[in-house]
Structure 1
Amino acid sequence: MAYSLPRSGPSLFAIDCAAEGTDAAITVQSDSSTNYLLGNAINLTISYTSPKDATVSWSKDGVLLATWSKGSADVADAYIGRLTITGNGSLLISNIIKGDGGDYTVRVGANGEIPGTLTWPVTIYDPVTSPSVSQSPAVVDENTPAVNLKCSADIGGMNFTWTKDGKPLTNDRGYEELDGGQILKIVLPMKNDSGIYSCNVSNPVDWKTATLELSVTGTEDNTIKVQRDSSPNFLLGENITLTITYTSTNNPTVAWFKDNAKLAQWNKGSPDVADDYIGRLEIIGNGSLLISNSTKDDGGNYTVRVEALGKVSGSLIIPVTIYDPVTNVSVSQSPAVVDENTTAVNLTCSADTEGVTYTWTKGGRSLPNDSSFVTLDGGQILQIILPKRTHGGIYVCNVSNLVHWKNATWTLNISGTDAPIDVQSNSSTIYLVGNNITLSISYTSPKDANIIWSKDGVQLADWNKGSSGVQDPNRQKIIGNGSLLISNSTKDDSGNYTVRVGAFGELPGTRIFLVTVYDPVTNPSVSQSPAKVNEKTPAVNLTCSAATGGMSYAWARDGQTLPSGGSYVALDGGHILQIVLPKKTHNGNYSCNVSNPVDWKIASWTLSVLDPVTNPSVSQSPAKVNEKTPAVNLTCSAATGGMSYAWARDGQTLPSGGSYVALDGGHILQIVLPKKTHNGNYSCNVSNPVDWKIASWTLSVSGNSHLAATVGVVIGAMLGAILFTEELWR
């Protein structure tokens, strides 16, 4: 039986013959994308089962585009110059227009076999252009009922994704997305809703981002404001720690709920825990929540409500997610053997864990900006179109979720049709601003070579037989056998450097250097929040920063690397060291090593965790005091935490100088020549930077009774003498 295809021109005709009575048709397969960007190329790669010389025909919406057999292609007139049949009959259309969208069908036939077909519904998308974000109303404060942020693009916008200050929006705030996400509505905006909002406008093949800075001015009210100080994302089996802060200090009552079921209530340090959580749930610090050994069932919406006398209660919803660890990451390759005639090669990354993100690197660097690289299936597949030997190397697939990651590596080998000149180098590709960039090369050609250097596609220099020309003679120089030297490097010198080595009668060889020039690390510093810490503080954060050059942060204490886990938690990529439930045993000198691949510096901070003040008391020496006592000492002390001592009498600050003398740093109050006028209630305020307590003592100074007796004796003697004299005169 003969099959004929529809004709799109008088010279284009295809007939495939197949024997009747056979059962299995030729199997045609493909993993090509069906979505393409206007102006790019459509690449529909195929594989099929027929071992015989196959005839391949391509049609679009029922109209024949091309036929191919034994390496020879016949293309419809309308597509000449744009359509190419590659490899084993795959289709490549360049400079695509919107009219190239439609249903593409390939038909593969061979003598004696039933033809096989496969259809792709191809869609051509406009690029996303001119995205913008607008705000309504223009002025917003905490009395505004709602504010709308609207995202739009001139063309190409289909999907809209919002972030705030570079991070995904959190469910606890209660954002509303309207019109398919094009409008972000913030109900009852608060000051902490201020920030940089970004809208990612995308379609399946392109995206762009627009930003707007929202400013919300505050108003005073009587509502307790509750805020979260910890991440809501946790790894399965780890502890859940939800640290909160709130504005009320008047004996608050803190209640925790999960999915509307009450977990615990806390007041004045005494928690009441639901039966199901006894042994796993603790209330720590000021009412924060700690759940040990998390399970997947611990995920959900946690609500904390804070109440206090005379205040409007405040609440906060924290959506907690428990993530599985990333396991069994692997990379596979299809087809297994690749050369420079292969239409495309796919590297497929897989893991046993769901809900993960896939990121690819090559040679330890991000993938170059090369149209040959296409990510498919959410990044799980890296497709390299028309691979060249320069695409060979070590590829790494990093599989991650918000709390865990693992990677797998794959070495891709691509053989060439002819052996080009082999260009090699062991030069570094990372440099410090101001240093020299030296890209040294060696190559196999014994003949006089011609060498061309370019950066990001723009030629920098050429060299032949020792004679060279460079773009910037003040900084660029060709040295040795054609190697490149750039003096006094700047950040603008970062980029993709390509060297091409050619020689008469040989296939040119190339090598690419992905050069990065880093700022030096300058002005590293460490700050502490809160500034004052005792053993009742839920957590303390040490934040490390640098004016320039900071990329990685490594912490140590007293010169020793910190142990993993336990009280120490690294946040924001190590930028913040959080110490949970700090103790005095955490005191010491903490150092932060701020680094990038070529420079580093260290900043230090001394952490002091102080005791609370306990059991303050006042004692008196001597125990009995009268007005002849030379001096009396009131001694103030505390079991723990005493650093400063302040004295008062009957609630009034003591006058300076006079009878009152402070000894031993205020620890002792000495009253010189005490009088009855010194009697009263003395209070001692014992304090340190984070706590204080008061102890009292009543001082009683009695009158001079010995002096009164003496005066009485003298007066009696005088009266007796007078009476005796009168008696003599008589």
Structure 2
Amino acid sequence: MKRLKEFRQTCRSAFLTVLFVSTLQGANSKLLISSVSPDVVKDLAGNNVTLAVSFTGASNPTLTWFRDGLPVVTWTINSVSPPDIDPNSKDVLHVEKNGSLTFIKVPVNYSSNYRVEMTKSGLGTDSHQFTLQIFEMIQSVTLNTPPIRAKEGIDQFTLQYSMLRGVIEQQTWFFNSKVLKNSSHYLVQETSLVILGLNRNDTGLYSVRLTNPFSNVTAQKEVIVFYGPDEPILKATPEKSFYVAGDSVSLSCQSEGTPQLTVEWIFNGQILSMDSNGVLDLKNVQTNQGGVYTCSLLNPMTNEKREKNVTLNIYERPPGSPVCSVLSVNNDSLLYECDWMGGTPPASLSFPALSSAITGEGNLSLTFPASTNLNGKTVTCQADHPIQQNTCNITARNPKVFLPEVRATVDVDSKIVVSILCVSEASPQAVVSWSNDSGAIANGTAYQISSDTTELKIRDNSISNLILQNFTCTCRNPLGSQTRRIQLQGPSISDSRVFPNQDGTIITLTWEVPPTSVVTGFDIQMKGANLIIKKGNTSQAKITLDGYHTIQQKPASARSTDVFTLDPKQTYLFRIIPKARLADGVPSVVHRIGPPDGLSGPAIAGIAAGIPCSILAIILVGGLIFLIIYLKRNRSHQTKYPVPRTTEKAIPPAKINHPEIIPHKPLAGGLKFFPDYNSLHQSLSDRSVALPAFVPPPPHVRVATTV
């Protein structure tokens, strides 16, 4: 009995101890679940998959796994009792000792949302959510269209895909490699693409790409939308309101449609041509071939048919059209002409604005003195024919203001050839005369005038001789003249710019030259870092440029150039040198390419950080100086006097007691104190300054005077 009592006391003590420890643990612990697996787990059907978890803060909690909110597994961890598993999932689900959930040869239909929840009395509850996605390999995908024809105008046209097996995570539809999305024209459904309001622009290659994390398959289908015939376009070539007997006429009938349309030409109830190109050629037409021609178009796939008529008029008349012209007579009169030859009968021609009484048949010429009334006046030639009335117009004008054009080249004799072109719009055509400071210019060795007088060529060995001359061109016809004075300039650049690419490895230089500048070429010069030159496919070489070096030469017609293989970390200077043969003109402005000047970001940051430190150091040094001066002034409070020589001889310096004196204050402007004669061992004759004045001591100080 005693032993039983002792055993009960021992059990009670152990129980209280366990209860205390449990209470203490509950006061300081909390049940927590940690995810070992990703929150979203993707795997192939038939594999073993584990939703792995771990927990802390409690031992042997109660575990429950939920699938879409419904419990499928319940178990107390480390319990001797087996887990309670949903009967429909016993062959698939297995609970690990740490509470993780394993799927044995997981089927496809186990894709779902799973949640694990653990509970421990006194330590709370915790849970974690998983998403399990089970996939199959995608196999044997085909893309099909409905049996109906893809005809323009139908409301809906569906492309449907099918597959032997597989689980789709994402489907993407394409039209001619362009991704399709839901819109007013396309509707993407679960396994199909619906085209709303099918039209001809929907013809092309459609494809669907089916993907999951373990496979992807693409299926394609060519869709041809049948349409047409559209409204036919009839055209007669040459296009005229009527045709002359003997002409050849080509009638064309064009219409849009797919597949290729069948075209028939019908005249007077007979089929003249049945051709897919829709062209009817009529050669050497006669008047009995005039009438109504019908174009009939048929779509062989849709059986849609459309017809359109054209009327062909055929007459005999003069060929072509009347031609008007105005010529200069002795450079003081205007000759107006109108020609329309041939035809039966010949056409009657007249210039009503010049003379209503004078007419001609087939040809008419009228001469009038040049006057301001005719300048800019449009004169009409009226051509009357029994079949047709026709006109042509001509306007006489004085020369307009013009700009000369200057070009320069170098001939085979190494001479500079300057071409000056003076062309003024005028009717009749203006005749150009040339002169310089010496008078009129005629063809010769140094000067050559073109056959139409519009161009003057000047040859010389030196650009200096050319720019010293002034040239004048005058454009003249019977109604007036225009004169331009040209002073040639040396080679120069009026404007230049540089455009680097985004990487800083290529630049484009552009420039302009004055209109009268004589330029035969340009030198592109560079100064700066090494220029990288590629050799072959891989090797590179660097060219070191000291000063400006010519890197390119351009002809006179060039206005831009590209410079390649620059180092974006280096600085380059570029300029353009205009040249007239061997003479260099004024260089363009210098264009700088490279990193910007100035302090870098780290340097600025360092300066900004150092300013407060510098100010603090200055304050400390100033305080230290002030303290030293203050202490020095306190120590130097005795008044010092010059000691007589006799005293120095009688009394040793160590035994002389100096009375205290008030120290002198420093003078303004940084002047020094008077010299301390007590520390100087000079004779009176050696002293270059007067002794300081005697200052009487205070009354309580005794002064000893030594004689």
Place the TM-score, normalised by the shorter chain, in its bin: under 0.3
Pick the structure with more strand per residue.
1
The structure whose Rg is larger is 2
TM-score, normalising length: structure 1? 0.26
TM-score by length of 2: 0.27
From the two aligned structures, give the one with the greater helix fraction: 2
